[in-house]
Amino acid sequence: AVPISAARHGTSSFAPVASYAFSAAVNAVPLMAVEILSAAAEYAIVFTAAGDQVLPAAVLGVRPDQNLYLSADSQWRAKYIPAFIRRYPFVFSASDDGKRLTLCVDESHPGLNRDGRGERLFGDDGKPSAFTDGVLKFLQEYQAQFERTKVFGNHLKELGLLEPMQATVKTPTGQTLSLGGFMAVSREKLRALNADALASLARTDELELLYLHLYSMRNFNEVKDRLIGSLADSHESAAAEATPA
């Protein structure tokens, strides 16, 4: 991705492409806390550590390079599409000190063109178009939600609610696939919280998000079904479970 500028993209346009092929090799994507309500019905939502940060993530597959929520013709096979996916090919790049954000675009995206297809990125006066302003507002909102989500993750760390987990998918043919490197909220630790901690979680609506996360774990069965459907022998079945690592 490169910074968007009038000098480089003054004559560029963007036409949306009905393809999510760019996400074919990812098995999980970050979720913002505000997305958990919409995503919990269709995805297994877990927590992942990135440095000293803890973020929610939607599980898309068991194999590290397979997105099971993508159809053979690169369409998204779920009603809710995570914002991390929807924002592509536009992203923010942060300065080294994290204080400045620059709007960037992946120039390899087939929708970016100089043929006038779609929406211009800049007007004839060299100023960002209404389309680019809309992209910028979307990413600014995404960044704001990202900061709120970091606070949410830090709160879970402080309360000691997370434990390492591992998902295992078994097929009757004897094949076993495991997905690790993620965490989930411990029901026992959640029940053991004192009244003040629970009240604090309830006031910020974080308690609702935690129970939605726990509810979503049953969607590992959906991931399992999608995996089996992608195998050559689509008639075999499998069992899936998530257990403490």
Nearest of 129, 149, 5 to residue 84 by alpha carbon: 149
pLDDT at residue 131, as a whole number: 97
Alpha carbon distance 42, 10 (integer Å): 40
Read off the tokens for 231: 């195998």
Average pLDDT estimate for 207-232: 90
Interval 6-63: pLDDT, tens = 999 999 999 999 899 999 999 999 999 999 999 999 999 999 998 889 999 999 999 8
Dig out the tokens for 121 from the structure.
């990125």
Angle, in degrees to the nearest 10, between helices 195-203 and 206-216: 90
Position 238 scores a pLDDT of 56
The average pLDDT across 167-172 equals 79
Instruction: Reply yes or no on whether the pLDDT at 171 is more than 80.
Output: no
pLDDT at residue 243 in the model = 65
* 178 and 64 Cβ atoms separated by less than 8 Å: no
